[in-house]
Structure 1
Amino acid sequence: MVAKPWLLLTCLAAAATAGVLQARAQPDSIGFISIDCGLPGTAGYVDDTTKLSTVPDAGFTDTGSNHNISAEYITQVPSRRYHNVRSFPDGARNCYTLRSLVAGFKYLVRAAFIYGNYDGLGQLPIFDLYIGVNFWGMVNVSSPDGYEVMEAIVVVPDDFVQVCLVNTGTGTPFISLLDLRPLKNSLYPQANAMQGLVLLGRTNFGPGTDGVRYPDDPHDRVWYPWIDAATYDVISTTEKVRNIDNDLFEAPSKVMQTAITPRNATRGIYFYWDSKPQPKDPTPQYTAVMHFSELQLLPNNSVREFSIHINGELWSPGGITPDYLRSNAAYSDVPLPAGSARYNVTINATANSTLPPFINGVEVFSIISTTNAGTYSQDVSAITAIKTKYRVQKNWRGDPCGPKSFAWDGLTCSYGVSIPPKITGVNISFSGLDGDISSSFANFKAIRYLNLSYNNLTGSIPDVISQLPSLTVLDLTGNQLSGSIPSGLLKRVEEGSLNLQYGNNPNLCTDAESCKPPKGKSKHAVYIAVPVVLIVVIGLLAALFFCFMRRKRQGSTTNTVKPQNETPATHPQSSLQLENRQFTYRELEVITNKFERVLGQGGFGKVYSGSLADGTPVAVKLRSQTSNQGVKEFLAEAQILTRIHHKNLVSMIGYCKDGHHMGLVYEYMSEGTLHEQIAGNGSSRRCLTWTQRLRIALESAQGLEYLHRGCNPPLIHRDVKATNILLNEKLEAKIADFGLSKTFNHDSGMQVSTYSLVGTHGYLDPEYYATQKPTTKSDVYSFGVVLLELVTGKPAIVRDPEPTNIIDWARRRLARGNIEGVVDARMHGNYDVNSVWKVTDIALKCTMQASSQRPSMTEVVGQLHECLQLEEVHTGDAATGSFYTGTSRDPNSGYNAYAADGAQSIGAHQSSTTAFEMEHDIGRELRMDTGPVAR
């Protein structure tokens, strides 16, 4: 470990002058930002001590609330700036944004915290502090009147920097003041684009009661005095101490005008600092800067030379002989070895020295990584403009994509190594957006998925949207858009590169021609035209009816652009009016070969393997005479399956209501249930790949979304679970078992009044359990459990070793920040970790205790679509089709999902501490009283 005296550093180039920095910073004339957090109103004031302009924080953050500290602590704080605080009881992350900076320049950022029992609770909080997307440190105020000051020196990558307070579950974050000071880029070379410096302590050795700061220190660093008069003498001067050329630290003259030296000339100077480990930085690394200036004009025969050791290792390069009235410093480019509980510093005279050593000042910093990149600046500008325009009320605070655990709801981002994340998906459906579609959406050059459905957007679709190079899905369903769809979008739809959904926009046209109103006609022409038009209309209606019936018989489809998510036709529910084939009980006997092969069994009855006359395999669910699920459940499932049609819902081929015999005939799903496949009990006996799991998740979600948004009236499944998701030979997923489903009403908050609790243990929404009123968010909760099963490979109830809900099991392990401890080990790490993190995050959001905090199935579908794209990029396989690897087609593969699982389903009844310490006598230590220094 070699330190470099400034005497040797004469070759370093000077950076831009402070004047340039001051001219481009804000808000005051010298480039400083001084914020009194929690100060109400818009008027600032001039600080009595520094004479610096101080402003309220309303212009820097839009969350939190203002409070005054308790009256009993007002007289104990050193400045008016500590009389109030801003606290942040809502949201996991709340941020201040400091703007008008210079990208790539170096800044000192300082935050201070005095609790002062502002909330009357007497509970000292602990929370985290971030600078941008990088962890800064943990704030842990030791007493109601105790100070905690956090100071960092960082290079800012953009023309702004954010300071974020993060709630860690141990109290409400708050802040008293926030400062920013520009620095020359040449200062503190240990701080660069890859790492920042966090102040542990800064000491001015010498007498005094107040710290040295602005204007004595033009950079407004705070230097706290220390002297032990029993052990050390003070050396001082009234002469100005000047900085050397290309000074790397620019210690102020007032600090350098005092120094301490041992009273006993044979002794050295001793001090130390203790390491301050944190949960997110258990082995911090430190670097020190020691400041020296000779204050005495020495006679020719006198020599003052000394060396520095830290933990017994030589830290300085040989002997140090400071210049007279010139600031010198010893520092190291290389951090001190990590892992020491204490760092002992000794400064001793060398053998050549005739005078004892001295020291004027010292700074100690821990090193933080700043390698995490914030979101691509163009994307930040775009999403911020969108947030402002539409007044989006979500967790949209801080950086949009980073850190990953704080990414904004509704956004999907791409993450790379040492490159800024980019926004690849925006899902702000059902968000109350109004006005036109913002042109800012066109600035997302990496966006692949854009969902603006079910808002109140008006006006036309901007043509620039069609120029987004990566866009593959655009959902505009359920707005009030008008005009024609841009030709660029229609062309991309025809080419197959874009999935466009625009249903329920009454005034939206597919082309400019169809939007033109009919030209005016004379009254005479109208009289003549009316009979002709009537004849033509009748003819067209007859032709349309003929085509409709023909299409219904042939099941034909077209590739033309058409509105998506249209409401399907409904059937009266007063009686069974089924279009599907009706079977007699005798025909069921023939189909199943007298019910020879049982596929599964549940509360409704057994499910049998069968085959139609044309060889089509089917599954036949036959109601048992002893079943506790009777005619009501049978009619419910039959009616539902008759009127719903979606590729991710199991199709009903026919039904039987022959006397007391009741049965349903389904399409055959050869690969059984998702539960069996996750457990490795499927026909192939192989572990599902992560890509297969993602596709199954997406397809299942699409089925549920259709029930919630595409049916009329909409449906709540009420028993979503892994055994009710079936897989065909291509491992395509379909939702099954609708006997417990209920309709719901959009106008009544999507709730169903019911006094019967149904569902399955481990999947049951706790809010539904408490209120007995299911909502669509009840299905979302259950689906979140299914997602966790797909990620972990474990059942909904984990034996660990006691029965534990998979949600709690996963949350405990994810709290350690290690996704590998949660993911199914049988996948052997063959997955994109970003994709896994995202799915896990979706699952945890789906299983939030409060239903209002859960996403909709529409949002889930959008996010899973992005996850699948991430994985396909990771694997290099973006081809369509399945990844099925099994070969067996055992017709006996489990089929319990075709019947409500009676065994598991729930039925109807049911610091002010000091950074440095001086050591002057063996066994006796004195703590320096430095006031509000960082930890």
Structure 2
Amino acid sequence: MEQSTHGATAARSWFLLLSLATTAGVLRVRGQSTGFVSIDCGLSEQSGYVDDVTKLPYSSDAAFTNAGSNHNVSAEHVKPSSIKRYLSVRSFPDTGTASRSCYTFPSIVPGSKCLLRATFMYGNYDGLNKLPVLDLYLDVNFWKTVNISKADSVHTAEVIAVIPSDTVQVCLVDIGLGTPFISGLDLRPLKNTLYPQVNSSQGLVLLDRSNFGASDLIVRHPDDPYDREWFPWSNLTKWRVISTKEKVRLRPEDAADVHFDAPSVVMQTAITPINASEKINFSWDAEPNYVHPTPRYTSVLYFSELEPLPRNAMRMFSVTINGMLLTSRYTPQYLFSYAFYGIEHSYSSRYDFTIQATTTSLTLPPTINAAEFFSVISTAKLGTDAQDVSAINAIKTKYQVKKNWVSDPCAPKTFAWDGLNCSYPTSSSPRITSINMSFGGLSGDISSYFANFKAMQHLDLSYNKLTGSIPYALAQLPSLVELDLTGNQLSGSIPFELLKRKADGSLTLRYNNNPKLCDQENSCQSTEKKNSTVTIYIAALVVAGVVIGLLLLLLLLGVIKNKALVKRHGKPENEADDLQSHSKNSDGCGLLQLDNRWFTYLELGIITNNFQRVIGRGGFGVVYDGFLEDGTRVAVKLRSQSSNQGVEEFLTEARNLTKIHHKNLVSLIGYCKDGDYLALVYEHMPEGNLQDKLRGGDGNIGCLTWKQRLCIALESAQGLEYLHNACSPPFLHRDVKTSNILLNGNLKAKVADFGLLKAFNNDDDTHVSTARVVGTYGYLAPEYASAMQLTKKSDVYSFGVVLLEVITGRPPILQTPEPTNIIEWAGQRLGQGNIEDVVDMHMHGDYDVNSVWKTADVALRCTAQVPTQRPTMTAVVAHLEECLDLEGSRFAGDINGNLNSSSSGGESNTSYNYYGADHYTDISPSNNTLDMGHNFGSGVATSPATR
């Protein structure tokens, strides 16, 4: 007689209620660690408990979802034997048909393999006695339809999948057959070698996992380190139980590359026919659904010999599935575990397994210890482009959108967010092409994140309460063909580029009913105050014109006088006059800009729309977004009255910026010295600074690829090299850090903030002594911090810290848990050949490992304790160019067309010696020690670190 899985369903539900326990508390998932995430859905916030049997903690689901409401099951379903986890649920009413409610698991290592388990016990929590049916999705891929068949039964859905991102979502979908609810959620990390059928394009959904011959207890954690649930299955009328107390191990040849690893306690029991001439027969029934009407299946069968056999005896048997031979002659090994996993089985409504002794083993009947049976699901559907997701979520947060904006914006297509249209390329991620937030009740300014949708064609923000100016960046959207801003409260000038695109017909631009908005044909003033305001404005312009005329006259006289003084005395009369000098720089640092412009404070107010939008803050003051009259976007750096930077440092920065011109140094457009008001007007760098890009200050944490990071580092080094070598006297920056490396719209890097710039007075100077230490903690060279001796190598040291930030994505001072500088933190790991724990995980292993090793070596040389052991910026530039070449060539083939073996991730045996034998440091993976000459404790040079 055959035993079907359906025949054991009721018993298994009872066993589950008796012994099921889960984990809680969020531990960071690290590759193949045993960190678990276990959630008791419906548990009150901040609540938690530890299960007495498994010793695993449970936590509330409040940190994983912001939707739904908590409920307790009805009293009629609460029994003394009830498991606490099933006494509460979270339900998601009124979500509407085909809408999602999602849980988000953060801090996943991208590319890791995980088991996720969702559990459900209805318990008539809503008093309706209506058993619901709902769909489960893993991210954007269909997982399973959950059909609640009994109010007091536990229903379990389990999937094993590769998680492509650093988060994963489990979504409950309302299909119109009752309110979705859930009792518990588990995430269990697995070794990546387990279940080789699972890959980036397909996952396994558990149908059954059986422990043959076991007692009435479910095997879970801690017996199974992955907390899989092994259900007992016996039939004492047909099968005899074999068991042992000896430990059952993996075969030695399987231990290094484990594909299947059933726990010993499961393998210690097995079944065999009571009648030695009989076969072992068991079966599973298929579970089709409307998404997969003919699902694919695969199975895993576990075997071990548990009885010591006479020397001349041998147990041998064959295994067939629906008549298809899996193995014809298999002999299990004594106390060693082995698993057969078949290819995907051809679809059938029923799967019959037969294990039969061979003719040479008639006295020893067949045996089996355990089995798993899975349906195969596709996980190949891609989520929306990551940049689009980040931008739309930032917009959702800013405007507090209350629509069905949950989970992925575009995928699956049937769940796309209201107001969005998307494109669905065949082999790449969906992109957002249209956003309609008309009549959405939006207030505040237009979010800068709208400029991040590079595939967007249509943007409708009409009839809201939006204020402020129109972001110039909208004009840079390459695909935008329609922009509707009608019926808002926008003010200021329409960016010239938008008007130009409207005029040439490439853009449909609507902006009516914005009384304070001006284009080329009307005024920026409101109708009620237009006449009086215009009169005042004209009067102000006349006064300003007179003032400017007088100042220009005085300036001209001052320049003439200054030239005479220079001729007689060899130097300008004062620093302010030096700012106005438009002669050629005789020191060989390039021509002075002839178009550096002097602004009044009144003009700055007009440029910045009355200092409306802040884009940065620093020790000098606040940086404001602004637009010149020709539409050029600028950054206005206005000195605050409480700033530590005085007039002298302000004049230093302004004067220096008129002398230095390089593609990798931020350009000065103009300045303001109007009474007590001091300001510098720079070119605008729309992508912000490197620090924010690396650590998420702009909402896009870790968004830079390794190649982009290398390009930024190289361009920054070229800017510093120019300061050190192309100017006479050379300049020292003194405040090199990631927040002072700015990025333009093409992610080209430019070094900024020259208020602390210091010049060598003589060519033979070895260092500059300063009266006080200036700069930023974490970047200061030890000789500068301790003795206030400043050299070019001080900038090199700071740049080395920048390189380590580029590699790791971490700040210069880490809290681990005590404050530790990044040089010590990275050096210890690199010295052990451990590159993977150093590299920023947000790069997802997408880099040439030799390129990263070489960059790390450059960084550590730059931060050597002794200044003379540090390379020059010229050497740094040369070696970063080599690093970039390595990264650029990682997909290049050899002469036979094969990919380079060191293309990404993994380890390398390459050693690097860039600066000669005197300063050689080997930090290749094959070297287990590291001597960098660092003293990591105080930042003061003492002696080299112990090797």
| Structure 2 length-normalised TM | 0.51
- 1:117 matched to 2:124? The reply is yes
Match of 1:412 in 2: 421
The AA in structure 2 aligned to 1:39 is: L
Aligned with 1:242 (options 243, 249, 252): 249
Map 1:2-401; keep pairs closer than 5 Å: 24-25=28-29, 30-75=34-79, 78-91=82-95, 92-243=99-250, 244-245=254-255, 246-316=257-327, 318-332=328-342, 334-338=343-347, 340-353=348-361, 354-401=363-410
Quick one: distance in 1 between partners of 2:144 and 2:418?
A: 25
* Cα distance, 1:77 vs structure 2: 6.5
Offset of residue 157 of structure 1? 2.5
Check conservation: 2:491, 2:524, Cα contact below 8 A.
Answer: no
Q: Kindly state the Cα deviation for residue 121 of structure 1 after the two structures are TM-superposed.
A: 0.8
Work out the CA distance in 1 between the residues paired with 2:374 and 2:177.
26
Residues 86, 176 of structure 1: 8 Å contact kept: yes
Q: Per the alignment, in what secondary structure is the counterpart of residue 432 of structure 1?
A: coil
1: CA distance, partners of 2:495 / 2:63? 39
Residue type at the aligned position of 1:299: P
1:88/1:288 Cα in 2 relative to 1: closer, same or farther (>3 Å)? same
Q: How far apart are 1:335 and its partner, in Å?
A: 1.1
What residue in structure 2 maps to residue 490 of structure 1? 499
Aligned to 1:723: none
AA partner of residue 169 (structure 1): G
User: Tell me, what secondary structure is at the counterpart of 2:114?
Assistant: strand
Distance change in 2, residues 1:416/1:27 (3 Å): closer
Report what 1:436 is aligned to: 445
Deviation at 1:296? 2.6
CA–CA separation in structure 2 for the residues paired with 1:495 and 1:45: 66
Q: Is the 8 A contact 2:32 2:192 kept in 1?
A: no
Shift of 1:62: 1.9
In 2, the alpha carbon distance for the partners of 1:242 and 1:120 equals: 50
Does the 8 Å CA contact 2:114/2:190 hold for their aligned counterparts? yes
The one-letter code matched in structure 1 to 2:341 is: Y
- In 2, Cα distance between equivalents of 1:94 and 1:306: 49
Alpha-carbon distance between aligned partners in 1 of 2:521 and 2:162, rounded to the nearest angstrom: 52
Shift of 1:148: 1.0
Structure 2: distance between partners of 1:86 and 1:508:
48
| C-alpha spacing 1:362/1:467, structure 2 compared with 1 (3 Å) | same
Query: The residue matched to 1:180 in structure 2 has which SS?
Result: strand
Contact 2:207–2:374 at 8 Å: present in 1 too? yes
Question: Structure 1: how far apart are the matches of 2:42 and 2:30?
Answer: 20
Q: Distance in 2 between matches of 1:37 and 1:418?
A: 37
State how far apart, in whole Å, the 2-side matches of 1:171 and 1:180 are. 26
- State how many pairs are aligned: 503
Residue 460 (1) aligns with residue 465 (2): no
- The answer to whether residue 480 in structure 2 is matched with residue 476 in structure 1 is no
Cα distance in 2, alignment partners of residues 46 and 28 from structure 1: 23
Q: Deviations over 1:454-495 (max 9, x none)?
A: 112222222222221111111112222222222332332233
SS of aligned partner of 2:473: helix
> In structure 2, do the counterparts of structure 1 residues 44 and 136 end up closer, same or farther at CA, with 3 Å as the change threshold?
same
CA distance in 1, matches of 2:449, 2:331: 61
What is the alpha-carbon root mean square deviation over aligned residues? 2.7
Q: Deviations over 1:543-592 (max 9, x none)?
A: xxxxxxxxxxxxxxxxxx9xxxxxxxxxxxxxxxxxxxxxxxxxxxxxxx
Q: Distance in 1 between matches of 2:91 and 2:182?
A: 7
Separation in 1, partners of 2:32, 2:45: 18
CA shift digits 1:884-922 (9 cap, x unpaired): xxxxxxxxxxxxxxxxxxxxxxxxxxxxxxxxxxxxxxx
Alpha-carbon distance between aligned partners in 1 of 2:377 and 2:138, rounded to the nearest angstrom = 10
Supply the distance in 2 between the matched residues of 1:522 and 1:172 (Cα, whole angstroms). Answer: 68
Look up the SS of the partner of 1:286 in the other structure.
strand
The equivalent of 1:719 in structure 2 is none
In the TM superposition, 1:628-707 aligns within 5 A as: none
- Cα drift, residue 428 of structure 1: 0.8
C-alpha contact 1:26 1:33 (8 A) present in aligned 2: no
Instruction: Provide the rounded CA distance (Å) in 2 between the counterparts of 1:379 and 1:25.
Output: 26
Give the 3 Å change call, closer, same or farther, for CA 366–298 of structure 1 in structure 2.
Answer: same
Counterpart of 1:502 in structure 2 is 511
Deviation at 1:27, TM superposition (A): 14
| Structure 2 contact 119–184 (Cα < 8 Å) conserved | yes
Q: Which of 391, 406, 411 in structure 2 is aligned with 1:402? A: 411
Query: 1:26·1:99 contact (CA, 8 Å) conserved in 2?
Result: no
Query: Which runs of at least 4 in structure 1 moved beyond 4 Å after TM superposition?
Result: 26-29, 511-523
Deviation at residue 506 of structure 1 after TM alignment: 2.3
CA contact (8 A) 1:447 1:470 kept: yes
* One-letter amino acid of the counterpart of residue 41, structure 1: E
Query: What runs of 5+ residues in structure 1 fail to find an aligned partner?
Result: 1-21, 527-560, 562-935
Q: Report the Cα distance in structure 1 between the residues aligned to 2:196 and 2:310, rounded to whole angstroms.
A: 35
Helix, strand or coil at the partner of 1:211: coil
Give the deviation of 1:151 after TM superposition: 0.4
Contact 1:453 1:475 in 2 (8 A): yes
- Aligned partner of 2:435 in structure 1 is 426
Q: CA deviation at 1:24?
A: 4.5
Which deviations, in whole Å up to 9, do the C-alpha atoms of 1:350-385 show, x marking residues without a partner?
122252211111000011122322211221111111
Q: CA deviation at 1:511?
A: 6.7
Q: Report 1 or 2 for greater relative contact order, CA contacts < 8 Å, sequence distance ≥ 6.
A: 1
Aligned-partner Cα distance in 1 for 2:60–2:510? 46
**Aligned-partner SS, 2:430:** strand
* CA offset digits 1:591-650 (Å, max 9, x no partner): xxxxxxxxxxxxxxxxxxxxxxxxxxxxxxxxxxxxxxxxxxxxxxxxxxxxxxxxxxxx
2:475 is paired with a residue of what secondary structure? helix
Shift in Å at residue 512 of structure 1? 13
Contact 1:97 1:162 in 2 (8 A): yes
Q: Is the 8 A contact 2:392 2:449 kept in 1?
A: yes
Question: Using the alignment, how far apart are the partners of 2:483 and 2:357 within structure 1?
Answer: 74
Identity of aligned residues (%): 59
Counterpart contact for 2:45–2:61, Cα < 8 Å: no
Q: Structure 2: how far apart are the matches of 1:520 and 1:368? A: 69
Unaligned stretches of 5+ residues in structure 2? 1-25, 526-532, 544-629, 631-947
Contact in 2 for aligned 1:26/1:32 (Cα 8 Å): no
CA distance in 2, matches of 1:309, 1:188: 21
Q: Residue 28 and residue 391 in structure 1: after superposition, are their counterparts in 2 closer, same or farther (change >3 A)?
A: farther
